[in-house]
Amino acid sequence: MRKIIFTTLFILSGVGAFAQDALFGTGAAKKQHSGFILNGNVSGDMPMFDMAKRFGLDYRLGASITYKTTSNWLFGIKYDFLLGNKIKEDSFMNNVKDKYSGDFNGKVFQALNINGQRVGVPVYERGFLMGVQAGKIVPIKKGEKDNGLMFLTTVGFIQHRINIFNRDGDVEQIQGDYVKGYDRLTNGWFAEQYAGYTYFAKNGLLNFNFGLDLVWAFTQGQRAYLFDVGHADDKKRNDVLFGIRAGWMIPIFKRKSEDISFE
């Protein structure tokens, strides 16, 4: 596993060097800077351990605010939305699903509404992560001290649930607060490790990062009773996400004159 990670980081650094020199031709910033970095990112994740028993592949959309020192240390905060559309939970909605409508496909189940009509009810994975970050950029090219391999550790709070989209509100068993007996609300603490390549262009427009991301969360179910399985949902869980992350950055760096500007 360690060899795979180091090999991947070597490839990432090589791709980054090609992007800045051959593809974009903008040149990297030569001076070492300090200041704030606004970052928007997207991740594609493969769930593992207990997370894989409940959800399929998912993705995250997020933002962070980070402060970079002149020695390349990073400190900041982040918030990610957790999104997915594949539910794999065993026995999910067994007492609500219409048994004559076929098997639950993980995206839509069939139920009878208050008028006795068979309707489709979509279900989704929804959640969020928020936390504090610290890390460092390690330069790999002489004279480009702002650019290189970035290692970033985040600790914080994670929450996820199954969003049952009863659009017309006409399925009686999942109206109002009844839906809480099915949604598997889960939360707890997580640690996240990101390793990748980061690049700041001299013209201030081409600023990006991409790499590998691992989230390990220690969570617990938060519902006192689940109607479809007939017991409480208070089991402790290991929820793991492993994936690829890419981000676009807006640096607000200080000039020597101490004026703050977009560089």
pTM for the whole thing? Answer: 0.85
* 142 vs 63, more confident: 63
Tokens 């068979």 identify what position? 118
Contact 118, 98 (CB under 8 A): yes
Residue 196's closest CA among 143, 243, 261, 241? Answer: 243
User: How many angstroms separate the Cα of 222 from the Cα of each of 52, 97, 215, 234?
Assistant: 19, 23, 20, 6
What share of residues in the chain are helix, strand, coil (percent, to 5)?
A: 15, 55, 30
Q: Is residue 22 pLDDT above 80, yes or no?
A: no
Q: How many CB atoms lie within 10 A of CB 63?
A: 14
Task: Give the pLDDT confidence score for residue 103 in this predicted structure.
Answer: 78
Radius of gyration of the chain (CA): 23
| Strand 35-49 relative to strand 236-254, pairing | antiparallel
